[in-house]
């Protein structure tokens, strides 16, 4: 039986990916002004991500996962340190960093095709002809299995289909890095499983670099090359990084009985439930930004 040794757990301060990192976070800290004084959300976040890696960010609600992602997206400016993408400091949003949010954020008056077209036009208006753009939009909608519903508006399709269109729109921008903030959080279990499979398939074919926030331990282990586990805030930081050494393609049914898979799950769960438990009892679910209950596994 394969066992997970301490060598699977990486000390964040000594990470040295052998390949040149596509993205590097160095000494990232951020303070938010609040009516009662400043709130330090993150301290000294260090992370190097190699091209083609699939990284999950996991941690208790409010620990700062979205803040990390928003700094990489250029939507928030770090107070200290910063993010460097392929040698270029990130200071503002840009098409090389596409974001997929939990709630699809499609324009309701446009069809699936037109939603993707809007993004494609802003990026490829000068470099692709009209016919090439059409082909590219259709290609990306087909990638997420939405070719049959290109002419439907968001209110005519299911939540999972909307999320597929959001992913197609992000992929169509050919981003250097795809940032996904709980992309499947609002979906039922079956739809979620289908979309996880689609993302694994697409990543295998295109070799995308992806950072994904999730609260779902199974999802993190199934999809990731590494799981970045964050400590609780205030002053949250990278606690441990778990390297997931499971061969691809990964099959969720087969993995359910795989001892190594279950040990990885256990590692993440014990980090979440034991090491980082501060004031909350185990049985209490944490509360999200909008007061919604959030489960951790």
Ligand X SMILES: Nc1ncnc2c1ncn2[C@@H]1O[C@H](COP(=O)(O)OP(=O)(O)OP(=O)(O)O)[C@@H](O)[C@H]1O
Interface residues toward ligand X, by CB under 6 A: 32, 34, 39, 41, 59, 61-67, 233, 288-289
Residue 70 CB, nearest distance to ligand X (Å)? 7
Between 17 and 40, name the residue whose CB sits nearer to ligand X. Answer: 40
Rounded Cα–Cα distance for residues 28 and 5 (Å): 29
Torsion sign, CA atoms 121, 124, 130, 133: negative
**Cβ burial, residue 107 (10 Å; 0-12/13-18/19+):** exposed
CA gyration radius, the chain: 19
Rounded Cα–Cα distance for residues 231 and 276 (Å): 6
Between 68 and 119, name the residue whose CB sits nearer to ligand X. Answer: 68
Give 144-164 as a DSSP string.
TT-GGGTT--GGGS-HHHHHH
Dig out the tokens for 54 from the structure.
Answer: 């699939």
User: Tokens 């000294």 map to which residue?
Assistant: 44
Residue 175 CB, nearest distance to ligand X (Å)? 21
Euclidean distance between the first and the last CA atom of the chain, given in angstroms as a whole number: 25
Residue 87 CB, nearest distance to ligand X (Å)? 26
Between 111 and 224, name the residue whose CB sits nearer to ligand X. Answer: 224
Residue 167 CB, nearest distance to ligand X (Å)? 19
Residue 297 CB, nearest distance to ligand X (Å)? 14
Give 198-267 as a DSSP string.
HHHHHHHHH---EEEE-S-HHHHHHH-SEEEEEPPSSSB-EEEEEE----SS--HHHHTT-HHHHHHHHH
Between 192 and 250, name the residue whose CB sits nearer to ligand X. Answer: 192
**Neighbour tally for 255: CB within 10 Å:** 17
Between 66 and 209, name the residue whose CB sits nearer to ligand X. Answer: 66
Rounded Cα–Cα distance for residues 176 and 86 (Å): 9
Between 68 and 146, name the residue whose CB sits nearer to ligand X. Answer: 68
Q: For the chain, how many helices (H) and strands (E)?
A: 8, 13
Between 266 and 287, name the residue whose CB sits nearer to ligand X. Answer: 287
């Amino acid at each position: 039986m394969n066992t997970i040794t301490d060598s699977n757990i990486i000390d964040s301060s000594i990470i040295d990916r052998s390949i040149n990192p596509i993205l590097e976070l160095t000494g990232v800290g951020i303070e938010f002004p609040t009516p009662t004084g400043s709130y330090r959300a993150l301290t000294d976040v260090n992370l190097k991500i190699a091209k083609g890696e699939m990284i999950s960010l996991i941690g208790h609600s409010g620990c700062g996962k979205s803040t990390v992602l928003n700094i990489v997206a250029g939507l928030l400016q770090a107070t200290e340190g910063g993010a460097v993408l392929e040698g270029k400091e990130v200071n503002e949003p840009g098409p090389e960093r596409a974001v997929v949010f939990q709630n699809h954020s499609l324009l309701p008056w446009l069809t699936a095709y037109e939603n993707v077209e809007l993004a494609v036009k802003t990026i490829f208006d000068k470099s692709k002809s009209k016919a090439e753009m059409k082909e590219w939009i259709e290609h990306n909608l087909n990638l997420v299995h939405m070719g049959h519903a290109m002419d439907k508006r968001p209110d005519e399709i299911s939540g999972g289909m909307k999320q597929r269109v959001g992913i197609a729109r992000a992929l169509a921008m050919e981003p250097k890095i795809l940032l996904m903030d709980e992309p499947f959080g609002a979906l039922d279990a079956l739809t979620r499983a289908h979309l996880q499979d689609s993302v694994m398939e697409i990543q295998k074919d295109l070799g995308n670099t992806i950072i994904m926030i999730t609260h779902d331990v199974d999802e993190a282990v199934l999809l990731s090359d590494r799981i970045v586990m964050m400590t609780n805030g205030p002053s949250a930081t990278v606690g441990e990084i778990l390297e997931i050494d499971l061969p691809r393609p990964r099959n969720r049914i087969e993995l359910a009985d795989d001892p190594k898979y279950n040990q990885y799950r256990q590692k993440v769960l014990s980090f979440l439930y034991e090491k980082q438990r501060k004031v909350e009892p185990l049985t209490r679910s944490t509360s999200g930004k909008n007061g919604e209950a959030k489960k951790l596994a």
